[in-house]
């Protein structure tokens, strides 16, 4: 929570990138045993963006970053730190942030990845906030970028209907008014088996059998994850707003991780807010882009005029790990 004499940190630039290719529910009907009606009713998703075969996570991240730099009226050389939130890095190492840093031409600044799945944008904002507040850096670039199509099993109808690709970016810096008021983060590693990718790491290295067993794709225990997601997101929202004395009516807009329309409506109900008025949704267009979902949603909410100067907004997310995070910002 921001104290009286602390430096105020806010978002001074936003950007996004969505691949051109749209994969609709009707397209998926030709791939797996599903229907547009079932997908829409269960998830709220109508289509999702899919990156080109030669389009990596870093490529999308760079485009979103350039968009954010233009929005902030800054040059790449003004950035002091690059953070990339992703679970679909270009490769295990080097960090995708280092690849992005090089492509932006700012090789002298520190760069690192964070891997907390859908909560990545919240974690990135929290880290950037501390670096700027303590005077270590002036401008921090936080990018959330995912090529979820690369880890999606297109024969698994329970997961392939959910995921999409994209990137969003935010530049944080000192602001005169408002800014980040509160940050709440958490994790529970005991529930990591609810959403994971079993193979490819040091525990189960890639072999012919792991590839044949389709272990290099995400696996999800949907029903159990749903139950925890609703509880976690609602609690994270409360933990971030209560220290500020904020109630549902005090929040101008809630911008949640775009996971599933039923989860989001349930969270809104627990928070006591009207989803039609105060819940920002773009899941219909993009599906679940993991860490990128919140970043893209925030960017679009601002572009559409849903977020105005003086508004108090709440970002709220949960992801594999399990991890979660909520951020309250005075715009």
Closest CA to 46 of 23, 30, 20, 21: 23
- How far apart CA 145 and CA 87 sit, in angstroms, is 9
What residue ranges in 189-238 does DSSP mark as E strands?
195-196, 219-220
Give the CA distances from residue 242 to residues 185, 268, 277, 321, in Å, rounded to whole numbers and listed in that order. Answer: 14, 16, 21, 25
- How far apart CA 200 and CA 238 sit, in angstroms, is 37
Pairing of strands 9-17, 81-85: unpaired
Closest CA to 187 of 238, 117, 96: 117
Buried b (16+ CB within 10 A) or exposed e, 9-26: bbbbbbbbbbbeeebebe
Is residue 118 annotated as part of the catalytic site, yes or no?
A: yes
Is residue 257 annotated as part of the catalytic site, yes or no?
A: yes
- How far apart CA 293 and CA 9 sit, in angstroms, is 22
Q: Which residues contact 88 (CB under 8 A, 6 or more apart)?
A: 57, 145, 146, 147, 148, 150, 151, 290
Q: From the candidates 118, 129, 139, 260, which is the catalytic residue?
A: 118
- How far apart CA 11 and CA 177 sit, in angstroms, is 11
CB 330 within 8 A of CB 178: yes
Pairing of strands 179-187, 165-174: unpaired
Q: From the candidates 67, 129, 257, 260, which is the catalytic residue?
A: 257
* CA gyration radius, the chain: 19
- How far apart CA 252 and CA 249 sit, in angstroms, is 7
Give the active site residues: 118, 257, 288
């Amino acid at each position: 929570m921001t104290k009286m004499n602390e430096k105020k940190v806010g978002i001074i630039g936003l950007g996004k990138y969505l691949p051109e290719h749209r994969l609709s529910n009707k397209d998926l009907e030709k791939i797996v045993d599903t229907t547009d009606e079932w997908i829409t009713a269960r998830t709220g998703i109508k289509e999702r963006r899919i990156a080109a075969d030669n389009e990596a996570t870093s490529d999308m991240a760079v485009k979103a970053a350039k968009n954010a730099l233009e929005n902030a009226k800054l040059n790449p050389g003004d950035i002091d730190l690059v953070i990339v939130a992703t679970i679909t890095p270009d490769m295990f190492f080097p960090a995708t942030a280092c690849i992005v840093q090089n492509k932006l031409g700012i090789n002298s600044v520190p760069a690192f990845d964070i891997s907390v799945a859908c909560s990545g944008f919240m974690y990135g904002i929290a880290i950037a906030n501390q670096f700027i507040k303590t005077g270590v850096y002036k401008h921090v670039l936080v990018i959330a970028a995912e090529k979820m199509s690369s880890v999606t099993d297109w024969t698994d109808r329970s997961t392939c209907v959910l995921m999409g690709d994209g990137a969003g970016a935010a530049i944080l810096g000192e602001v005169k008014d408002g800014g980040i008021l509160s940050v709440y983060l958490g994790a529970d590693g005991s529930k990591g088996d609810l959403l994971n990718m079993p193979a490819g790491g040091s525990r189960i290295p890639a072999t012919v059998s792991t590839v044949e067993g389709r272990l290099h794709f995400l696996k999800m225990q949907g029903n159990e994850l749903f139950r925890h997601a609703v509880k976690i997101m609602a609690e994270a929202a409360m933990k971030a707003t209560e220290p500020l004395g904020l109630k549902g009516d005090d929040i101008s807009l809630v911008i949640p991780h775009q996971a599933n329309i039923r989860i989001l409506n349930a969270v809104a109900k627990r928070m006591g807010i009207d989803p039609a008025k105060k819940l920002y949704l773009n899941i219909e267009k993009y599906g679940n882009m993991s860490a990128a979902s919140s970043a893209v949603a925030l960017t679009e909410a601002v572009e559409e005029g849903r977020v105005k100067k003086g508004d108090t907004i709440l970002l709220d997310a949960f992801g594999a790990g399990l991890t979660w995070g909520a951020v309250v910002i005075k715009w």
